[in-house]
Structure 1
Amino acid sequence: MTNSSRNILLSVLFVAVPALAAAQTPPAKPARPAAAAPAATPRPRAVVSTPSQTAQFQRQVDRQQLQNAQNQSNVRQQLQQNNTAIQRTNATDPAMRNQLDNAQRSQQQLNRAQQDSAARQYETTPSNRGAVAPSRPSTSGQ
């Protein structure tokens, strides 16, 4: 290959490569006509946010602590009722029996009021809305 043919080939490549590159670029998009109807917007997706694992774990721990406290309270109340019932059966004085009956009744009313208050407080907590309130243990009518 001679020098002159090499120079001609290089000059052709030097001119042809940019021309080929320009020919391969896509043409610019035409401007949208103003009167065209807007495209239908896609329906928004429902976003369901789930709490982080740490928040879920903390909620589970809080729930477990609440249940433990309720169980301890229920055991304490049952022991008080049993002690009062034993004292009443062992009491021989009618005035003492009457006092023990009144004390047991007032203690049961106090326990019910505390349980109702705890249930109301549990229901009004924002994270517990829609949840079932903790159940109240059955009390024996002694």
Structure 2
Amino acid sequence: MRFAADEDITRWVSAFHEAGHAVIHCAAGGRIKRAVLTDDDNGYVIPVEEEPHPGRLMDWLAMILGGHEAAARFLVKHAGYGLSHARATTQPGARSDLAGFRRYARGSGISEAAARRETEKRVRRHWGRIERAAKKLHARGRLTQV
């Protein structure tokens, strides 16, 4: 995937962010109702499940962090960013995700560092699927399956 120098990649970052959530969730056995990109280049994913399955908290936490990790990886692979810069650049779009992560992780014994390491592994493992989902989401603005 290549971009023109003047192309605004904000919508692509959002597509990869939302595809990251959706694919990581589905790869762990979850289901999504839909993933959507909005007209202002933001987005959201609505999982079928409203809470983590008992004993599967890491899967839920990886889904929450998967959007940020996928968006950062997109900037590294397709826009020439270094990983630290990519993560810092995509951090503002992940603020509500991080708040959700902290709410679910509190008292679980799972640190943010451990969950990020696990999420990074899952994003790498499912990168092809994330790319395909992000391309469809970018083109259509909506997904119901990944």
Instruction: Tell me if both proteins adopt one fold, taking TM over 0.5 as the criterion.
Output: no
Q: Which has the higher contact order (CA 8 A, sep 6+)?
A: 2
What is the TM-score with the length of structure 2 in the denominator?
Answer: 0.31
Structure number with bigger Rg: 1
